Structure 1
Amino acid sequence: MGTALDQDLGDNYRAAYSNRVGFGKRPALVLIDFAKAYFDPDCILYAGVEAALASALRLREAAHKADIPVVLTEVTYQPGGRNGGRFFEKAKPLACFVKGEKTAEFADGLVPVPKDIVVSKQYPSAFFGTSLASTLTAMGIDTVVLTGLTTSGCVRATCVDSMSHGFTTAVVREACGDRHPAPHEANLFDMNAKYADVVSEDEALAYFTSALK
Structure 2
Amino acid sequence: MKEAANLLGISTATLRRLEKDEEVKGYGIRVYYTPGGQRRYLKAEIEQFYLNKGFAGEFGLGKKPAVLVIDCINAFTSKESPLSGDWENELENINNIIAKAHKTDCPVIFSHSYYVDNNDGMLLWSKKIKGIEALELNSNGVELDSRMRNKKNDYHIYSKFVSVYYQTELLEILEKNQCDTLIICGFSTSGSVRTVASETIQYGIRPIVALEAVGDRDLHVHRNNLSDIEQKFADVLTVHDILNYLDSE
TM over 0.5: yes
Within 2, Cα distance between the matches of 1:201 and 1:187?
Answer: 18
Q: CA deviation at 1:36?
A: 1.3
Distance change in 2, residues 1:96/1:67 (3 Å): same
Map 1:1-213 onto structure 2 (within 5 A).
16-78=54-116, 80=117, 82=119, 84=122, 86-110=124-148, 112-211=150-249
Using CA pairs below 8 Å that are at least 6 residues apart, which structure has the higher relative contact order? Answer: 1
RMSD (Å) for aligned C-alpha atoms: 2.3
Within 1, Cα distance between the matches of 2:52 and 2:244?
Answer: 26
Within 2, Cα distance between the matches of 1:18 and 1:157?
Answer: 18
Q: CA deviation at 1:111?
A: 5.5
Within 2, Cα distance between the matches of 1:14 and 1:53?
Answer: 25
Within 1, Cα distance between the matches of 2:53 and 2:216?
Answer: 28
Segments of 5+ residues of structure 2 without an aligned counterpart are: 1-25, 28-47
Name the stretch that deviates more: 16-25 or 48-57: 16-25
Within 2, Cα distance between the matches of 1:68 and 1:14?
Answer: 29
Segments of 5+ residues of structure 1 without an aligned counterpart are: 1-7
Count of aligned residue pairs for this structure pair: 204
- Does the 8 Å contact 1:27/1:142 carry over to 2? yes
- Does the 8 Å contact 2:99/2:149 carry over to 1? no
Distance change in 2, residues 1:81/1:90 (3 Å): farther
Instruction: Specify the structure having the higher radius of gyration (Cα).
Output: 2
Distance change in 2, residues 1:23/1:52 (3 Å): same
Within 2, Cα distance between the matches of 1:105 and 1:14?
Answer: 37
User: Any idea what SS the aligned residue of 2:209 has?
Assistant: strand
Within 1, Cα distance between the matches of 2:215 and 2:54?
Answer: 27
Within 2, Cα distance between the matches of 1:58 and 1:45?
Answer: 24
Match of 1:3 in 2: none
TM-score using structure 2 length = 0.75
Within 1, Cα distance between the matches of 2:245 and 2:146?
Answer: 27
Query: Percent identity among equivalent residues?
Result: 26
Q: CA deviation at 1:130?
A: 1.3
